[in-house]
Amino acid sequence: MAAAERQEPNRPGKCGRMPRSRVSIREPVNPPIIYEVTAWSGAEYAEMKREDSVVVAELRATEHRISKIRSEIDQFEQVFKRVTSGFGDDKYLNDEYHNLIVSTRDLSSHLAGLQSKAFRTAANIGVKQ
């Protein structure tokens, strides 16, 4: 046997296909991440903290309103069951239903206001004015 025939595959001098593990990837595997750092002055930071505390207070008030409406819904269901059983007044049921609708409408408009305020705040994060 000639010396060239005895050479093992992938050894120098052997012409052959390279194994897959040696194939290079030409595209970056992990593209670089660019971080933007914003420096806030003491006054700006204090203003952000104040706005945060206002938002937290509004969220707590909203949670309270939601729990109040849940209670009103439970009370309305009890009145509804009494009226459908023949032990209540239809006028009282209508009044309770109207009050429930008004309170949920108020909550809905309040939540819409909070949502728009949150979107404005999110749009301004990292932007100095």
Q: Do 7 and 14 form a contact (C-beta atoms < 8 A)?
A: yes
Token pair listed for 39: 């420096």
Q: How many angstroms separate the CA atoms of 55 and 49, rounded?
A: 10
Q: Do 50 and 57 form a contact (C-beta atoms < 8 A)?
A: no
Flag whether 116 is in a domain.
yes
Q: How many domains does the chain have?
A: 1
Q: How many angstroms separate the CA atoms of 122 and 6, rounded?
A: 70
Flag whether 108 is in a domain.
yes
Flag whether 62 is in a domain.
yes
As to burial, measured by CB atoms within 10 angstroms (0-12 exposed, 13-18 middle, 19+ buried), residue 59 is: exposed
Flag whether 72 is in a domain.
yes
Flag whether 21 is in a domain.
no
Flag whether 19 is in a domain.
no
| pLDDT reported for residue 73 | 87
Range of the domain at 110: 39-129
pTM check: above 0.75:
no
C-alpha distances in Å from residue 13, one per residue of 18, 89, 105: 13, 101, 83
For the domain that residue 125 is a member of, what is the CATH number? 1.20.58
Flag whether 29 is in a domain.
no
Q: Do 93 and 83 form a contact (C-beta atoms < 8 A)?
A: yes
Give the pLDDT of the chain (129 residues) as one tens digit per residue. 555 555 555 555 555 555 555 545 555 556 566 656 566 677 777 777 777 777 788 888 888 888 888 888 888 888 888 888 888 788 888 888 888 888 888 888 888 887 887 777 766 665 444
Q: How many angstroms separate the CA atoms of 27 and 104, rounded?
A: 55
Flag whether 34 is in a domain.
no
